[in-house]
Structure 1
Amino acid sequence: MAFERAELDDMIERWLQANRDGEKAGNWRNLADYYTEDATYGWNYGPEWDFMAVGRDEIRDLAIGLEMDGLDGWTYPYQSWVVDEKTGDMIGLWKQVFEATRPDGSHYALDGIQGSWFKYAGDHKFGWQRDFFDYGNVTALFMEMITDGVITDGMTARMTRVVEAAQKRQPLPGWYRAGQSPVPMW
């Protein structure tokens, strides 16, 4: 299904503003309004785990709720977009930057390439989203922040939740063994 470029550009602007609003609030649940009722949203957590939210409610409650809770103070500035009007594929490349700075003045930020691949469904809604980032770099950055004493209470709680689930050998909501999510990752 082909889409008008102006509609896709308008979607990008609406999405960027909603992201900025979520960053200011430290709560991104407002983004759920930009997905169809049956949308899916997933990403990979390294060699063992995938995350997948199925439906707008799970996207709100799990993907941009539980998974992003504790990330207040972070911004996700989009750097560039690649858009295909014929297919509705939209790729947004973003950075993940924390408000605290290192002794050298640079912000704690995720290295590597981060982004989201969206499938536009019309009516200013996405039918699905898949994020990509280097999980090894995430781990290294969080360890640096712990060592430097700049980790927030919210991030500590988030990491504790993951560790406790691993100790119990119980996946968190939305976490699936790699390749076993309820809808295909790609």
Structure 2
Amino acid sequence: MKTFSKDAIIFNEAEMPKFYYQLKSGKVKMFNLTEEGKEFTQGFFEKNTSFGEPPLFGTFEYPASAMCLTDCEVYVLEKKMFLNLLKAHPDIHLKFTKMLCNRMLYKAKIMKELSIHPPEHRILTLLHHLKDSANIESLYEVKLTRQQISDLTGLRVETVIRAIKQLEKTKKLILKQRKVYI
């Protein structure tokens, strides 16, 4: 168990992976910075979720940096021990593989959205993916801020705000006390 303060960097883009990370508490974001200093958020991770695993399997550098958005408690397991754990427990390995496949699906959806679709469509795809991932069939409360939606879709915050209002007008989502539901 290791503790990190808010705004601490857990690992940087282009570093070689040495550890498996899983949040016990707190919130982490993975992001890239463009040459102009603009940030693109790859994802947000909360308690009981792991992050930064693909390079452990592929033996390549981290494609993004990980930063604590809050104070965090993180389980840190050496790469070799993590891989041995998966070998010894095929049931855990299978669950882990399914989780990675869901993340790959999300990345594929977002890449398509960023390249060809208008803002409303991008936002709806993100929100539907979050709802599907949560396995909720009823009304789903989106736990992201407008800024976080902006970071995840590559849109400006102002565009996200306008698009969400438009989506409410067309009854594709619901706004209640400034919270978004789908």
Structures share fold, TM-score greater than 0.5:
no
Higher percent of residues as strand: 1
TM-score w.r.t. the length of structure 2 is 0.29
Question: Which protein, 1 or 2, shows the higher relative CO under an 8 Å CA cutoff with sep ≥ 6?
Answer: 1
Q: Which structure is larger by alpha-carbon Rg, 1 or 2?
A: 2
Higher percent of residues as helix: 2
